[in-house]
Amino acid sequence: MSEQPSSPSSATFRPASAAMVCPTCRAEWRGVATCPRCGSDLTVLMRVARRAWELRQALHAALCAGNRATEALALARTACQLHTTPHGQRLLALALLMNGQRAEAYALIEQVLQEQKSEH
């Protein structure tokens, strides 16, 4: 798998608090196949969330293996592009650290901490 550029400015992260929303009416997605507000079919959204979860599971396995840091980073970036979660961002920071990309990991951790502060 190929890696994306590693500079902090090249990383595009959605906020950890960003919930997935109905693409039609922007109602917060609650894990159901049909939007309760507008009736839109949300099965594609469900597939995206599931794929991101699968990537995070593979990422976890790659991190635990200890010798698959490059693969772990590619998985982490892809999972966060599909659906950013606080857990996914922590895994991404860990993968960045394992790949020696301390500056980007630090920037991501700072971003997550700032978002957590703004939520409270």
Kindly state whether residue 37 falls inside one of the protein's structural domains: yes
The domain of 46 spans 25-119
> What token pair was written down for 29?
């997605």
Helices (H), 1-120: 43-65, 69-82, 86-98, 102-119
With bands split at pLDDT 50, 70 and 90, how would you rate the model's confidence at 86? Answer: confident
Count of domains for the chain: 1
Kindly state whether residue 11 falls inside one of the protein's structural domains: no
Distance between first and last Cα of the chain: 38
Tokens 């957590």 locate to 116
| Interval 26-63: pLDDT, tens | 998 888 899 999 999 999 988 998 999 999 999 999 99
Kindly state whether residue 10 falls inside one of the protein's structural domains: no
Kindly state whether residue 32 falls inside one of the protein's structural domains: yes
Kindly state whether residue 105 falls inside one of the protein's structural domains: yes
Kindly state whether residue 13 falls inside one of the protein's structural domains: no
Whole-number average pLDDT of the chain: 84
pTM: 0.74
Kindly state whether residue 6 falls inside one of the protein's structural domains: no
